[in-house]
Amino acid sequence: MRLITILWVDDEMELLKPHILFLEDKGFRVLTSTNGDDAVHIANTVPLDLIFLDENMPGMNGLETLRALKLIKPNVPVIMITKSEEEDIMDKALGSKISDYLIKPVNPNQILLTIKKNIDSQRLVSETTDSDYRAEFSKLTALINAAQTLDNWKDVYSKLVYWEIEIAESTEQGMEEILRMQKSEANQGFSRFIKGNYNNWFDDKNPDKPLLSPNVFKERVFPIIDSGKRAVLILVDNLRLDQWRVIYRQMSDYFVVDKDELYCGILPSVTQYARNSLFAGLMPMEIEDFYPDLWINDE
């Protein structure tokens, strides 16, 4: 197994000798430098996994060294260490995409935690995720077997999507295969549920009929417009819940989700039927009856 190599840059390196010995005793390879120029030279010649960088050094200071190191090793985590707690220094360091920020004096366990968080976090997260999914597997199977209503199946689907995203980068391939098998079991159960209930969803007297494509505008969009609020509708074909969850991570800096809701597309769910049904507020056969000159039925 390859040793994790750490570069520690500090002009007071003699004071850090206990920390270096502590890390070496933990199995890390630690290279040291007392100035920015030497640090840049080491970064140019040695593969590195993490860099500890003092903010206040003679010659090239920490921020200048940081910029030079980022040009050479853009993907290596850099931990800035400083005696200063001035906000503008922190802002500049964070703006330069450091991975963490520590205030002197630092203790060995604090250093070790930072290393684990920035180097070993993926393995630790994967191991914890796999363990948590194993613990939830039986509960999910019970939910699948007991699901009797559409809300039950929405709950099952939401939980399966959560675990699908969580273990997407798991180190254990076996977990992904187990999840695929459980999703297959859920798909079979949901198919049986749809087969037994789908026709009843179009009975206007059915109090349990879900929100379907033809009613999305009437029940969700028009009330917003009628209230005088401005509205923008964005329709994405074939958007799955797992895809939406990933997209929302990127959107959350700009938007707040007021309500996150699933609705049921019609069958068949191909664009010609499902999307046209959504915009028309009618089922395909109703569109054909009301607008025969516009409806084209490809056979």
On whether residue 250 sits in a domain, the answer given is: no
- Compute the distance between CA of residue 81 and CA of residue 54 in angstroms, rounded to an integer: 5
Answer yes or no: do 49 and 99 share one domain: yes
Predicted local distance difference test score (pLDDT) of residue 6:
93
Predicted local distance difference test score (pLDDT) of residue 132:
85
Answer yes or no: do 62 and 83 share one domain: yes
For the chain, residues with pLDDT lower than 70 are: 1-2, 84-97, 121-125, 169-174, 297-299
Do 81 and 106 contact (CB within 8 A), yes or no? yes
Q: Which residues contact 9 (CB under 8 A, 6 or more apart)?
A: 32, 33, 34, 35, 36, 38, 39, 51, 52, 53, 54, 57, 62, 65
Three-state secondary structure call for residue 39: helix
On whether residue 246 sits in a domain, the answer given is: no
Answer yes or no: do 99 and 150 share one domain: no
Instruction: Give the residue numbers spanning the domain of 269.
Output: 213-238+259-290
On whether residue 245 sits in a domain, the answer given is: no
Answer yes or no: do 149 and 107 share one domain: no
On whether residue 297 sits in a domain, the answer given is: no
Pairing of strands 29-33, 5-9: parallel
- Compute the distance between CA of residue 201 and CA of residue 114 in angstroms, rounded to an integer: 55
Do 39 and 7 contact (CB within 8 A), yes or no? yes
CATH number for the domain spanning 62: value is: 3.40.50.2300
On whether residue 70 sits in a domain, the answer given is: yes
Answer yes or no: do 100 and 185 share one domain: no
On whether residue 208 sits in a domain, the answer given is: no
pLDDT digits (tens, 9 = 90+) for 263-282: 998 988 887 788 889 999 99
Q: Which residues contact 201 (CB under 8 A, 6 or more apart)?
A: 209, 210, 212, 264
| Alpha-carbon torsion (224, 230, 236, 240), positive or negative | negative
- Compute the distance between CA of residue 137 and CA of residue 177 in angstroms, rounded to an integer: 13
Q: What is the DSSP string of 45-101?
A: HS--SEEEEES--SSS-HHHHHHHHHHH-TTS-EEEEES---HHHHHHHHHTT-SEE
Count: domains in the chain: 3
Answer yes or no: do 62 and 144 share one domain: no
Instruction: Give residue for tokens 């929405």.
Output: 154
From 59, 94, 119, the end of a domain falls on 119
Answer yes or no: do 101 and 10 share one domain: yes
Per DSSP, what are the bridge partners of residue 52? 8, 79
Answer yes or no: do 51 and 148 share one domain: no
Answer yes or no: do 113 and 11 share one domain: yes
On whether residue 252 sits in a domain, the answer given is: no
Answer yes or no: do 185 and 273 share one domain: no
Answer yes or no: do 109 and 179 share one domain: no
Closest CA to 55 of 91, 19, 24: 91
- Compute the distance between CA of residue 283 and CA of residue 266 in angstroms, rounded to an integer: 8
Predicted local distance difference test score (pLDDT) of residue 142:
93
Answer yes or no: do 139 and 194 share one domain: yes
From 62, 86, 119, the end of a domain falls on 119
On whether residue 24 sits in a domain, the answer given is: yes
Q: Which residues contact 249 (CB under 8 A, 6 or more apart)?
A: none
From 119, 150, 170, the end of a domain falls on 119
